[in-house]
Chain A
Amino acid sequence: DAGITQSPRHKVTETGTPVTLRCHQTENHRYMYWYRQDPGHGLRLIHYSYGVKDTDKGEVSDGYSVSRSKTEDFLLTLESATSSQTSVYFCAIRNKYTGELFFGEGSRLTVL
Chain B
Amino acid sequence: KQEVTQIPAALSVPEGENLVLNCSFTDSAIYNLQWFRQDPGKGLTSLLLIQSSQREQTSGRLNASLDKSSGRSTLYIAASQPGDSATYLCAVGTQGGSEKLVFGKGTKLTVNP
Footprint of B on A, CB under 8 Å?
Answer: 31, 33, 35, 40-45, 48, 50, 56, 58, 90, 92, 94, 98-106
Q: A42-B106, A99-B51 are in contact. Are A94 and B99 (CB under 8 A)?
A: yes
Q: Is the interface of B mostly helix, strand, loop or mixed?
A: strand
Q: Report chain B residues within 8 Å CB of A48.
A: 98, 100
Contacts between chains A and B (CB distance < 8 A), count: 52
Asked if residues A105 and B34 are in contact (CB atoms below 8 Å), the reply is: no
Q: A43-B103, A58-B100 are in contact. Are A100 and B46 (CB under 8 A)?
A: yes
Q: Report chain A residues within 8 Å CB of B34.
A: 100-101
Residue in B32, B36, B89, B103 with the greatest tally of chain A CB atoms within 10 Å: B103
Interface string of B66-110 (1 = CB under 8 A from A): 000000000000000000000001010100001111011110000
Q: Which 9 pairs show the lowest CB-CB distances between chains A and B? A: A42-B105, A43-B103, A103-B44, A105-B43, A103-B43, A100-B49, A42-B103, A99-B32, A106-B43
